[in-house]
Amino acid sequence: MFTWLRGLLLRTALTALTALKALRRNKLRSSLTALGIIIGVFAVVAMVAVGNGARTLIEAQVAGLGRNMLVVFAGSRRSAGVNNGIGSASAITLPDTEALRLEIPDVVAVSPEVTATAQVIANGRNWSTSIAGESPQFLLIRDWALTSGSMFTDREVRGAAKVGVIGSKTAHELFGPLDPVGQTVRIGNIPFLIIGVLASKGAGGNGQNDDDRIVIPYTTAMKRITGDKYVRVVYLQVADAARMQVAQEQITRLLRQRHRLETDAPDDFNIFNQKQIADTVSTVTGALTALLGAIAGLSLLVGGIGIMNIMLVSVTERTREIGIRISVGAQPGDIRVQFLIEAVTLSLLGGLVGVLLGIGAAQLVGAVTTFKAIVTPGSIVLAFSVSFAIGVFFGFYPARRASLLDPIDALRYE
């Protein structure tokens, strides 16, 4: 039994050696044939890497928006049949936000937001930036840290204190390398004391730079800068990601009740659910990756057909050799294995080079751009198994044809 198995293995090994010799004899042709698979595997690995990179980037951006975050936008109340769009109606009041904080147990942090764009002056320079009025919980909700100083307190919010924390870009524009903490910034004509610097978040997914802003208490912003009585946006944090949906429903119910909406009336606000967005983004980027992979997979198929074509040519060309082998005692299985191994070797070599090129391309993309293409072990394993399968699939027919040649005709073949 074991000697039989060893004989079989040795025989297969010898046949493989013959196949490799045959490939080596036709180096140019072998490499051109493998090129089809190389390009296919390269395309699959590179495309999936790019897709994964895009997905990771977008997911990181969504995650960077905050932690378990819900955002309520005042908005789009229909007045006389005209939809004014999100935020067009100033429907959320400060008592509304207070009610959200106190009456919904899942909500652990609330920050009403008012925003404005203003010219700010400090250190002899001036800069146009975005002013955001927030509560102290804003940093918690947005999962944002300070690099120096501290955040303003609830007490400073109640007192509408003229203090603020500054975004890293704004700080750089106004103060250069100087530490802005303890410095005074004039927003409009009102002096504000800078008490902290926000950590850099990088360019946000919404097209505006998160780092270019000054965050001040919302009370101060409403009173001194915008003059608004309402807030347009409320940031909320939910304690548990699993409770996001429940919290969203509770908020909807509470706000509808407080705004005295009829049962059939539409909401006069919109709720942005970070988890929903993240899920949607994952689905979309996943589909994108799959699409890229599928398109690249087509070129792999073309490569496989190339292998089949060359193997058929090779079988015809080597008809006489096959005849000789059969006449001295090669069994159909021996011939089949020989040609199958040739095809599989071509496709596996192609797969190997393709994977290496794909990894190289991903590295290059990572080095040249800020975008990181990510090669996963899964895509490498997949590329290898697919190229192996292609070798077997497209090699089988030519190999079978070779093994079924009639030795008499084959020996006479010129």
Partner 1 sequence: MSTGSQIAMGAQAPVAAGSGSAAMAGQAAAAEPRIPVIALSGVEKVYRTGEVEVKAVTGVTLTVQRGEFLAIMGASGSGKSTMMNILGCLDRPTAGEYRLDGVSVAGLKRAQLARLRNHKLGFVFQSFNLLPRTTALENVELPLFYSEPLVPLREQRRRAREALERVGLGSRLSHRPSQLSGGQQQRIAIARALVNHPGLLLADEPTGNLDSRTSIDIMGLFQELNDSGITVIVVTHELDVAAYCRRIVVMRDGRVLDDRPNAAPARAAAQRARLDREEQAANIEERGGAY
Q: Which one of 330, 346, 353, 375 is in contact with partner 1 (CB under 8 A)?
A: 330
- Among residues 4 and 262, whose Cβ is nearest to partner 1? 4
Q: Which one of 124, 207, 329, 377 is in contact with partner 1 (CB under 8 A)?
A: 329
For residue 23, state whether it binds partner 1 (rule: CB under 8 A): no
Q: Which one of 304, 323, 351, 398 is in contact with partner 1 (CB under 8 A)?
A: 323
Please give the sequence-ordered ranges of beta strands (E in DSSP) within 159-227, or none if there are none.
163-166, 184-187, 190-198, 213-217
Q: Which one of 83, 84, 331, 376 is in contact with partner 1 (CB under 8 A)?
A: 331
Number of residues in contact with partner 1 under rule CB under 8 A: 24
**Rounded Cα–Cα distance for residues 327 and 360 (Å):** 48
- Alpha-carbon torsion 213, 218, 219, 221, what sign? positive
**Rounded Cα–Cα distance for residues 210 and 110 (Å):** 19
Residues found in the chain: 414
**Rounded Cα–Cα distance for residues 223 and 244 (Å):** 32
- CB 32, min distance to partner 1, A: 20
Phi/psi-derived region of residue 329, left when phi > 0, alpha when psi is between -120 and 50, beta in every other case: left
Q: How buried is 36 (Cβ within 10 angstroms: 0-12 exposed, 13-18 middle, 19+ buried)? A: buried
For residue 242, state whether it binds partner 1 (rule: CB under 8 A): no
Q: Which one of 326, 341, 361, 380 is in contact with partner 1 (CB under 8 A)?
A: 326
CB-based contact 374:49 (threshold 8 Å): yes
Q: How many CB atoms neighbour CB 335 within 10 A?
A: 23
- CB 398, min distance to partner 1, A: 18
For residue 408, state whether it binds partner 1 (rule: CB under 8 A): yes
- CB 11, min distance to partner 1, A: 6
Q: Which one of 257, 327, 376, 385 is in contact with partner 1 (CB under 8 A)?
A: 327
Helix axes 244-258, 94-103, angle to 10 degrees: 140
For residue 10, state whether it binds partner 1 (rule: CB under 8 A): yes
Tokens of 373: 């293409």
For residue 25, state whether it binds partner 1 (rule: CB under 8 A): yes
- CB 323, min distance to partner 1, A: 7
For residue 325, state whether it binds partner 1 (rule: CB under 8 A): yes
**Rounded Cα–Cα distance for residues 62 and 250 (Å):** 23
For residue 313, state whether it binds partner 1 (rule: CB under 8 A): no
For residue 14, state whether it binds partner 1 (rule: CB under 8 A): yes
Q: Which residues bind partner 1 (CB under 8 A)?
A: 3, 7, 10-11, 14, 18, 25, 320-321, 323-334, 407-408, 411
